[in-house]
């Protein structure tokens, strides 16, 4: 049992409140998964400054200031490294690929937890409410946020095993459930040259979607393919810088509820995570139907 939350803001007047609202949603899902948690935030000017690339890093051995010095020397740009618990948030002016390559060269032992122009991913072990406070999540701004509280079933309780899984540029996936045939699909993807960081079944789903998007498919088509190829019980929330999508398996036994207003779209494993959102009393509320793709575009 895990908890999923997501918030896609349509009203720019709410952008300064993204972190506040996401913090409340995440805290309500603590009982569904109290061993670890993670969030993905789109558009926070502190963590992903405009015109900068951002890379979220786990398990780097060097202190943040030493890594910043090494990356500045390697890239020729002024690189900042912000330590937030187990996650280092690295950002620098320019494109993400050169920064990503420099991070991997300077800290080969580290795990890239997310990267892009607008995306910051934070993950750690601990109680979700405590982690949100440690990260200063309530002060975050932006237009979209995704969160996950984990009760581990398929892999170890580590920061890297927490969700979201963010393996493509500005993309992330969170998952409640399990994929029964993840080992088979992992082998198929590896045969296509896809590299994995873990044995977690969720990473297989994230890599599948990222590969489909890299092949030119849109999110809805990628998720239709996932439903056709993956066996198991699951609710998924998939996001990138422009879209926010939800899908459940054919049985739909993993809970999910969506609320939609003119100002925002939100999704959670349980309604109580949505109950504090502004205007929720007038929202269109529904449970996603089995294998139907629900997608919203910015």
CATH code: domain of residue 18: 3.60.20.10
Could you say which of 99, 117, 135 is where a domain stops? 117
- Are 161 and 269 part of one and the same domain? yes
End position of a domain, from candidates 67, 83, 117: 117
What whole-number distance in Å separates Cα of residue 66 and Cα of residue 68? 5
Shared-domain flag, residues 63 and 165: no
121, β-bridge pairs: 40
**60 and 158 both lie in a single domain:** no
Same domain, 140 and 235: yes
> Are both 102 and 243 inside the same structural domain?
no
Q: Which helix (H) or strand (E) holds 122?
A: strand 119-125
What domain range is 96 assigned to? 49-117
* 57/83 Cα distance (integer angstroms): 9
Answer yes or no: do 102 and 164 share one domain.
Answer: no
Query: Taking the model in full, what pTM does it have?
Result: 0.96
Q: Indicate if 2 belongs to the active site.
A: yes
Kindly state whether residues 16 and 133 are assigned to the same domain: yes
Q: How many domains does the chain have?
A: 2
Tokens of 45: 């000017």
Whether residue 194 is found in the same domain as residue 241: yes
- 25 and 72 inside one domain: no
Whether the CB-CB separation of 119 and 42 falls below 8 Å is answered with: yes
Residues 6+ apart with CB under 8 A from 144: 6, 7, 8, 9, 18, 41, 42, 43, 239, 241, 244, 298
Percent of the chain that is helix, strand, coil (3-state, to 5): 30, 30, 35
In this structure, what token pair is assigned to residue 109?
A: 């032992």
Q: One digit per residue, pLDDT tens: the chain, 298 residues? A: 799 999 999 999 999 999 999 999 999 999 888 888 999 999 999 999 999 999 999 999 999 999 999 999 999 999 999 999 999 999 999 999 999 999 999 999 999 999 999 999 999 999 999 999 999 999 999 999 999 998 766 667 788 888 899 999 999 999 999 999 999 999 999 999 999 998 889 999 999 999 999 999 999 999 999 999 999 999 999 999 999 999 999 999 999 999 999 999 999 999 999 999 999 999 999 999 999 999 999 8
């Amino acid at each position: 049992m895990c908890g999923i939350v997501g918030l896609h803001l349509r009203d720019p007047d709410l952008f300064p409140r993204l972190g506040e609202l996401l913090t409340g949603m995440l805290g309500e899902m603590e009982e569904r998964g109290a061993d670890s948690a993670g969030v993905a935030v789109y558009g926070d000017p502190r963590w992903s400054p405009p015109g900068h690339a951002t890379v979220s890093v786990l398990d780097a051995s060097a202190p943040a200031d030493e890594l910043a010095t090494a990356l500045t020397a390697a890239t020729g740009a002024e690189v900042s490294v912000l330590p937030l618990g187990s996650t280092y948030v690295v950002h620098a002016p320019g494109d993400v690929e050169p920064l990503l390559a420099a991070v991997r060269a300077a800290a080969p032992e580290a795990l890239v937890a997310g990267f892009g122009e607008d995306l910051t991913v934070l993950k750690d072990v601990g109680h979700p409410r405590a982690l949100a406070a440690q990260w200063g999540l309530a002060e975050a701004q932006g237009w979209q946020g995704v969160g996950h509280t984990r009760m581990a079933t398929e892999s170890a309780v580590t920061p890297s095993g927490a969700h979201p899984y963010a393996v493509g540029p500005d993309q992330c996936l969170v998952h409640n459930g399990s994929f029964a045939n993840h080992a088979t699909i992992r082998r198929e993807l590896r045969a296509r040259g896809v590299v994995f960081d873990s044995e977690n079944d969720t990473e297989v789903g994230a890599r599948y979607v990222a590969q489909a998007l890299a092949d030119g498919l849109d999110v809805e088509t990628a998720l239709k393919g996932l439903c056709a190829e993956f066996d198991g019980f699951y609710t998924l929330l998939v996001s990138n810088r422009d879209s926010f999508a939800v899908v459940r398996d054919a049985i739909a036994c993993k809970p999910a509820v969506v609320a939609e207003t003119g100002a925002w779209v939100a999704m959670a494993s349980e309604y109580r995570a949505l109950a504090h959102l502004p205007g929720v009393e007038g929202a269109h509320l529904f449970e996603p139907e089995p294998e139907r793709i629900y997608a919203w575009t910015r």
